[in-house]
Amino acid sequence: MLLKLIKNSFRNQKKSMALMIVSVAAGTAVAASLITLSLEINGKIADELRSFGANIVIEPKIEGVAYLAGQKRYLAQDDLIKTKTIFWRHNIVGITPVLETRARATVGGVSEDIDLIGTWYRRELPLPGEGKTFTAGAVTTAPWWALQGRWPERADGVVAGVSAAGRLGIRIGDRISIDGAQIEVLGTIETGGVEDQRLFMELEPLQHLKGLEGKISKVEASALTTPMDDFAYRDPRTMSKPEYEKWYCTGYVTSIAKQLEEVFPGSRAKPVWQVAETEGMVLRRLTLLIYFLCLISLLASALGVSTTMIMSMLRRREEIALMKALGADNLAVTRIFLAEGSVIGVAGGVVGYACSLGAVQYIALTVFSTGFEHRMLLLAAAVGSAVLISLLGTLFPIRRALRVKPAVILKGF
């Protein structure tokens, strides 16, 4: 009986029912889109902020007399791969070894002492214990570098910083002498920093040239981090054991730095504070902004759906009065209308969720060039809240309609 009544009600008032379903669907679509967005936004913006470059630098620890004497110390290149074995390995999104040397460059008969840097531009490293590789090198820690020409992949060749190239009159294709060895210039690089005045080589050939096999002078790492809070700023040495464990196992830039330091014996890992602190602040603020916007839009769409439901229900007071006049009690009437509201809620929720999937994927692909994860849980939440809102929207006008006398309403007042 109930089923038949509802079926008839939908069949006889197609347009009105369609309106309600569309309204619920629109509300659900906005709500589901914004919830998906707010769940994903933190990660997306964190990824985006990593384009500001390395936020941790690992250098050899050098103190006292050795420092005063200007002694050089190195880290072992072999330890580099171990950075992908630490607790926060999945947060390490970029890593670049750097060997800083000075060399005598001779170009067209003019000799000059110049900084010569050995590093990787792009290098696929095998992940320990897994069949996959990950990308390391300057593209991961300094994505703003603009390379003209090409980088000497695993081979001899020099890339000149633009200022150095201009000053020395070096052009791509020239052969220059570095410490007596003739090396071809394969490209120029614009970094927008002091590196523009330097020359670059692939790491291994430079190590060979300088007799520093397997040695690097610093490591730049780019890590996804948890924004620093008051707890994170405390000195780990003053923490109690549980506190230290909590600190160590939270992805603060300081704790990830500590873990990286443990990978390289005799090293000191420091956060690049300018990048790390600003990143945390920007991430927190942007995420908060999106949350607030979601909240407001959620409220607005929930209330918007309710008003449509109320509007549609008001019109059916006559129907309610007729039912009552024919002997239906309040409970029976309420049941019919609530069942109807549920059907509208489910239909609208499903349609709205489907629309939100499209909208959110489009937004993610347009803005971040990667898609968002589908969350089935969200479908349940979307349909559930759609039903809830349409039920609330139904209940309010029904209660009003039930209170009045059938005869009065049927008379048309």
Partner 1 sequence: MNKRWFLFFLMKSLSLRKGHVVIASVCVTLAVAAASAMIAVTAGVRGKLGEELKAYGANLIVTPAGGGYLDKRLVDELRSLPDVEDASGQILGRSFFGQTAIEIIGLDRDKLRERGWRLTGLWPRGNGEALAGINLKNGLNLEIGKTLHLESSGKEEASARRPGNAYTVTGFIERGGPEDDAVVLSLPDAGELLKAEDGLSAVLVRGTPGKLDQIERAIRDREPGVSARTIRNIALPEESLLSKIQLLMALVTGVVLFAAWVSIAATMGANVFERRAEIGLMMALGATGKEVARFYRAEAALIGLGGGLAGLLLGVLSAEAITNGAFHSLVPVPLYLPLLAPAAGLVMTLSASTIPLNNALACKPALILRGE
How many residues in the shown chain lie near partner 1 by CB under 8 A? 76
Beta strands in 120-209 (DSSP E): 123-126, 133-136, 146-149, 158-161, 175-178, 181-190, 199-202
| Tokens, residue 32 | 């589901």
**What's the min distance (Å) between Cβ of 413 and partner 1?**
11
**What's the min distance (Å) between Cβ of 374 and partner 1?**
18
Return the axis-axis angle of helices 14-49 and 330-368, rounded to nearest 10°. 40
Q: Choose between 87 and 362: whose C-beta lies nearer to partner 1.
A: 362
**What's the min distance (Å) between Cβ of 379 and partner 1?**
18
Q: What's the burial of 360, exposed, middle or buried (CB within 10 Å: 0-12/13-18/19+)?
A: buried
**Which of the ranges 45-53, 82-90, 91-99, 152-160 carries the binding residues for partner 1, by CB under 8 A?**
45-53
Q: Choose between 19 and 328: whose C-beta lies nearer to partner 1.
A: 19
- What is the footprint of partner 1 within residues 353-392 (CB under 8 A)? 359, 362-363, 366-368
Biggest alpha carbon distance in the chain? 111
- What is the footprint of partner 1 within residues 71-110 (CB under 8 A)? none
- By CB under 8 A, residue 125 contacts partner 1: no
Per CB under 8 A, the list member of 26, 199, 212, 343 interacting with partner 1 is: 26
- By CB under 8 A, residue 33 contacts partner 1: yes
- By CB under 8 A, residue 52 contacts partner 1: yes
Per CB under 8 A, the list member of 119, 217, 308, 334 interacting with partner 1 is: 308
**What's the min distance (Å) between Cβ of 386 and partner 1?**
13
Q: Choose between 209 and 257: whose C-beta lies nearer to partner 1.
A: 257
Q: What is the rounded distance in angstroms from the CA atom of residue 217 to the CA atom of residue 60?
A: 7
**Which of the ranges 20-28, 103-111, 180-188, 336-344 carries the binding residues for partner 1, by CB under 8 A?**
20-28
Contact 119, 137 (CB under 8 A): yes
Contact 217, 72 (CB under 8 A): yes
**What's the min distance (Å) between Cβ of 336 and partner 1?**
19
- What is the footprint of partner 1 within residues 165-204 (CB under 8 A)? 190-193
Helices (H) and strands (E) in the chain, counts: 13, 14
Per CB under 8 A, the list member of 142, 147, 344, 391 interacting with partner 1 is: 142
Query: Residue 364 region, left (φ>0) first, then alpha (ψ -120 to 50), else beta?
Result: alpha
Q: Choose between 167 and 208: whose C-beta lies nearer to partner 1.
A: 167
- By CB under 8 A, residue 281 contacts partner 1: yes
- Unique residue bearing structure tokens 């629109």: 26
Contact 331, 10 (CB under 8 A): no
End-to-end CA distance of the chain: 30
Q: Choose between 226 and 297: whose C-beta lies nearer to partner 1.
A: 297
| Phi, psi angle pair for 338, to nearest 5° | -65, -40
Q: What's the burial of 39, exposed, middle or buried (CB within 10 Å: 0-12/13-18/19+)?
A: middle
- By CB under 8 A, residue 242 contacts partner 1: no
**Which of the ranges 32-40, 83-91, 105-113, 119-127 carries the binding residues for partner 1, by CB under 8 A?**
32-40
